[in-house]
Chains A and B, each alone.
Chain A
Amino acid sequence: MARARPVPGFAESASFREAAIRTVEVRTEEVFEHRDNVLDISDIEHVHDMRVATRRLRAAMEIFEPCFPKKQFRGLLREVKVLADTLGARRDADVAIAAMDRVAAELPVADRAGVNHLLAELRAEQQQANEALAGLLGQIDSDRLHERLLAVAAETGAAAEVPA
Chain B
Amino acid sequence: MKARKVKGLDPDGPLDANLRRIVAVRVAELHSFGKAVLDPSDVEALHDMRIAAKRVRYVLELGEPVLGPDAGRGAKRARSLQDVLGEIHDCDEGIPRVLALIDRLREEDVAAVRDSADPTASDLDPAALRRARNRRKYAGLESLVSYMRARRAVLYAEFLRTWAKFERAKLGARLDGTGR
* Interface set of A (CB-CB < 8 Å, partner B): 4, 6-7, 10-11, 13, 15-20, 23, 55-56, 59-60, 62-63, 66-67, 95-96, 99, 103, 107, 110-115, 117-118, 121, 160
As a 0/1 sequence over residues 6 to 45 of chain B, the CB contacts with chain A under 8 angstroms (1 = contact) are 0001111111001100100000000000000000000000
Residues on the B chain within 8 Å of A160, using CB = 11-12
Interface of A: prevailing SS = helix
4 closest Cβ pairs, A-B complex: A114-B137, A59-B58, A114-B141, A114-B140
Residues on the A chain within 8 Å of B101, using CB = 114, 117-118, 121
Is the Cβ of A4 less than 8 Å from the Cβ of B61?
yes
A6-B65, A114-B136 known, 7 other contacts, Cβ within 8 Å:
A10-B15, A60-B58, A67-B11, A95-B90, A96-B94, A111-B139, A113-B140
Distance in angstroms between the alpha carbons of A103 and B138 in the assembled complex: 15
Distance in angstroms between the alpha carbons of A129 and B76 in the assembled complex: 31
* Interface set of B (CB-CB < 8 Å, partner A): 3, 9-15, 18-19, 22, 54-55, 58-59, 61-62, 65-66, 90, 94, 98, 101-102, 105, 134, 136-141, 143-144, 147
Of the residues B12, B65, B105, contact of A15 by C-beta under 8 Å: B12
Residues on the A chain within 8 Å of B138, using CB = 114
Is the Cβ of B14 less than 8 Å from the Cβ of A111?
no
Shortest B146–chain A CB gap in Å is: 11
Residues on the B chain within 8 Å of A11, using CB = 15, 65-66
Is the Cβ of B144 less than 8 Å from the Cβ of A16?
no
Query: What are 6 A-to-B residue pairs whose CB atoms are below 8 Å?
Result: A6-B65, A16-B11, A113-B136, A114-B141, A114-B144, A117-B141
Of the residues B9, B15, B98, B134, contact of A66 by C-beta under 8 Å: B9
